[in-house]
Every structure is written in C-alpha cells, then in structure tokens.
C-alpha cells in the first residue's frame, strides 16, 4: 500500500526544462504563499543537453513578464536575428539562468530523479506516485511541463503527440579545447549577421551549425534532421552512420562531408545517445483534468517551422499565472479558464506552422515563401498580450 508524504501547501511542476522552470519562477513571484516543487526525472538537475534555441519576439515579451533579468541575460549572450527580431541562443544559456533564479527563490524546491508513474486525484488533492515505488507525493495542483514525451500526458490517457517523419540529434561543441579543427570555422565560414550554416544532404536530410563564438567564445551548436518512418533508436545508430547509409551521401560535396565528419568527430559522444522526434500534438482540446493542467510541449508540441515552440511555452507561463491570480488560486477554475483561453491561439498557430512547412518544402527557393501579413505577424509576436481569437489573414 502506497503511503503519501505529509501534505503541505504546494504546487508541483513536473519537468525542469525551460518552461517548467519558467512557471516555477513566475509562481514564486506571484501572490501564491505555498511551495512550488519542481520534479525532474533525470538525475542531473542541470543537464547541458540541447543545441541552439530561438526566443522569438513573443517569447521575449513573455519573458519580460516572467523575469526581466533573464531576458537581459538572453540579450547579452544571444544573437539578434534581424529577419524576425528573434534571439538565437545556446539552449543551456536560457535554462541555466532560469535555474539560477529559481534556486534563489525561498519558496522553490527542485528535486532530481523523480519519475511520475501514476496520478490520482481527490476533490482537494493530487497524489503523484513516484518511480513505480510506494512513494506518493501529495500536492494541491500539478502542472505538467515535461515535454513531448510527457509522462503526465500518458497518465491522463491523452492522445500522444504525432510523429511528423523526422528524428533530430542535437549537441554543443567547445571548440576551445586543445586540438580542435573547428575553432577557425567561426571566423572563416559563418556569416557575421546570421551565424548559421545550413547543409542539405539530398532533398530532405539537413545539418545546421550555429556559431555563438562572438558572445560565448568557442561555442558551436549543431543539429541534424533525419527523415525516418519512426523515431530512430539512438542506441543503434549515430548521426554519421545514418548519413553514410543514405544514398544522398555519395553525391554530397567533399567539403560538406569533411565539415560534417569533423563536427561529429569532435562532438560529445553522449549527445549521440539521445535524440528527439519532430512531433505535433492534436488539439481538439487542451487535456487538463481536475487539478492538473499542461503547458509547453506537454500540451502542444508545435512544428518548428518558425521556431515558435519554446516561445509559446513561455506564453503559457504568463497566461497561466494571470489566471491563477484572477481565480485566487482556485485551481480547477483557473486551469479550465487558462486552457479555454489558450486553445484557439495555440491550435491555430500549430496548424499554420504545419502548413508553412509544406510551403517551404515546395517552394523552389526561400524567397518564394510568402511573408506573414502585418496583422498576423503582430498577433503572433505580441505574445501573451494578444487576443486568443486568431487573425484569419495569414498572408498578404
């Protein structure tokens, strides 16, 4: 028989990624007078996995509400992208700063090695079963921010995110290390304004390099998108092995091959041990139940055509905090109001991003892709302050 831990006034956030830490920090600054406990399944609270991260203008607007100091840090370490006003950042630069500020809050606790295995609810509690053991944690409410592979989503028996036909590996390389053949690439290969090198192998395989050398000396991020019928097993194939088995590799220019082989030769082997699928989440409804709600990729994995996914998660943080304040932390009322408010905007943008990805694939060149209309662009980039009702005129 499972024995619950002693009850205290507490909101549990599942997932210590950027959005999970964002809602913890936002709630810690709110009028809520209980504990915010963040539960992370991985044993390392600050795992520096990831690659480049885009903080779009709507995400920046949301972050201004969550933490002006985190936004200031992002401007210091990020690269301004004049094409859309976004910031390109190393993933860890955003997460580490959020983590640091959470650790400074007396009402935030971060626990590592906690895997949710079952969720039960009463009229006044949520009971979280941990690690398939007898340990049960009691809380007043649960916010799931545990990403595309959300265990909370599975526990709620919600439709899982749909695989969209690509597996992605990501990583970061420190080119300052002795013997690196990549250090000079920052100065000789990357454009100064938008330091991104896209490399296409055939029509569908893509490798991207991102240089953060100007703000973070020696930092090089990489990402590879690999078309696949299902998510590839990282324990059975590496990115380079995938490329070498592809027919298109034989006709890839030697210079491109050499660059990619050097990148994977200097990459951290641990980055090959995991990958993630490109997915989207069906959104006939949000999926929260009772005293449980979902935010970020756990609720709405968005296709990364315009790099909006993480920023939409930060919008969730701001709107959810507002709703909790509005309803004086009456959780069920606040959660349903939040979900009903967010659903029209998130569902519309999610579908638009899928459609836009098709336009990109079919266009002969990037300049043939139509720009967003002024009205739609403003609606997207105004973030948490935009009305939830979509702007139907997407293109001019």
Q: What is the pLDDT of residues 56-92, one digit of tens each?
A: 999 999 999 999 999 999 999 999 998 899 999 998 8
Pair (117, 259) in one structural domain: no
| Residue in 67, 45, 40, 37 with CA at minimum distance from that of residue 55 | 67
Do 144 and 72 reside in the same domain of the chain? yes
The predicted-structure confidence for 315-362, as pLDDT tens digits, reads as follows: 999 999 999 999 999 999 999 999 999 999 999 999 999 899 888 877
Does pLDDT of 119 surpass 50? yes
Position 280 scores a pLDDT of 85
- Could you give the CA distance from residue 293 to residue 338 in angstroms, rounded to a whole number? 9
Both 117 and 88 in a single domain? yes
Residue 145 clears pLDDT 90, i.e. is over it = yes
User: What is the DSSP track for 31-53?
Assistant: S--SEEEEEESSS-SS-----EE
76 and 151 fall within a common domain:
yes
Q: Which domain holds residue 269?
A: 195-275
Please report the pLDDT score of residue 48 as a whole number.
64
Q: For residue 76, what is the domain's CATH number?
A: 3.50.50.60
User: Does 179 have pLDDT greater than 80?
Assistant: yes
CB 288 within 8 A of CB 67: no
- Are the C-beta atoms of residues 299 and 286 closer than 8 Å to each other? yes
Last residue of a domain, one of 256, 275, 294: 275
Segment among 81-85, 135-139, 386-390 with least mean pLDDT: 81-85
Share of the chain above pLDDT 70, in %: 97
Same domain, 283 and 339: yes
Residue 134 has pLDDT above 70, yes or no: yes
Same domain, 233 and 286: no
Domain count within the chain: 2
Contact (CB, 8 A) for 352 and 305: no
Please indicate, yes or no, if residue 136 is contained in any of the structural domains: yes
264 & 154 share domain: no
Q: Are strands 116-121 and 126-130 parallel, antiparallel or unpaired?
A: antiparallel
pLDDT per residue as tens digits for the range 208-217? 999 999 888 9
Residue 181 in any domain: the answer is no
Q: So what's the pLDDT on residue 1?
A: 41
Q: How far is CA 208 from CA 11, 256, 263, in A?
A: 39, 11, 11
For residues 158 and 72, membership in a common domain is answered with: yes
* Cα–Cα distance measured from residue 25 to residue 11, given in angstroms and rounded to the nearest whole number: 12
pTM: 0.93
Are residues 318 and 222 part of one domain? Answer: no
Do 86 and 108 share a domain, yes or no? Answer: yes
Residues 113 and 259 placed together within one structural domain of the fold: no
């Amino acid at each position: 028989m499972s024995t619950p831990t002693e009850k205290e006034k507490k909101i549990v956030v599942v997932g210590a990624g950027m959005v999970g830490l964002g809602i913890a920090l936002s709630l810690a600054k709110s009028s809520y007078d209980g504990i915010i406990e963040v539960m992370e399944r991985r044993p390392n609270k600050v795992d520096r996995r990831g690659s480049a991260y885009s903080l779009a203008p709507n995400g920046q607007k949301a972050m201004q509400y969550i933490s002006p100091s985190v936004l200031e840090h992002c401007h210091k370490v990020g690269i301004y992208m004049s094409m859309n006003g976004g910031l390109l950042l190393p993933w860890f630069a955003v997460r580490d700063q959020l983590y640091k500020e959470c650790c400074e809050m007396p009402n935030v606790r971060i626990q590592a090695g906690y895997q949710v295995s079952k969720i039960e609810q009463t009229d006044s509690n949520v009971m979280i079963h941990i690690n398939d053991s007898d340990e049960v944690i009691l809380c007043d409410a649960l916010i799931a921010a545990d990403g595309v592979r959300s265990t909370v989503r599975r526990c709620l028996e919600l439709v899982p995110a749909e695989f969209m036909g690509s597996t992605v590996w990501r990583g970061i390389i420190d080119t300052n290390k002795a013997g690196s053949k990549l250090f000079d690439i920052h100065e000789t290969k990357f454009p100064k304004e938008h330091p991104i090198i896209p490399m296409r192998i055939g029509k569908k395989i893509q490798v991207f390099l991102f240089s953060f050398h100007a703000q973070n000396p020696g930092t090089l991020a990489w990402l590879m998108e690999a078309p696949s019928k299902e998510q590839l097993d990282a324990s059975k194939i590496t990115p380079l092995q995938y490329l070498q088995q592809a027919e298109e590799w034989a006709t890839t220019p030697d210079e491109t091959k050499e660059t990619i082989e050097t990148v994977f030769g200097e990459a951290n082997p641990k980055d090959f041990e995991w990958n993630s699928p490109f997915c989207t989440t069906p959104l006939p409804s949000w999926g929260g139940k009772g005293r449980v709600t979902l935010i970020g990729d756990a609720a709405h994995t968005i296709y990364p055509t315009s790099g909006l996914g993480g920023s939409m998660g930060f919008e969730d943080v701001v709107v959810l905090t507002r709703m909790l304040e509005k309803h004086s932390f009456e959780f069920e009322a606040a959660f349903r109001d939040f979900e009903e408010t967010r659903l029209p905007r998130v569902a519309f943008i999610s579908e638009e991003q899928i459609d836009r990805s098709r336009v990109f694939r079919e266009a002969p060149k990037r300049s043939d892709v139509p720009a967003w209309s002024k009205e739609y662009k403003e609606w997207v980039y105004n973030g948490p302050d935009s009305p939830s009702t979509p702007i139907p005129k997407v293109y001019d």
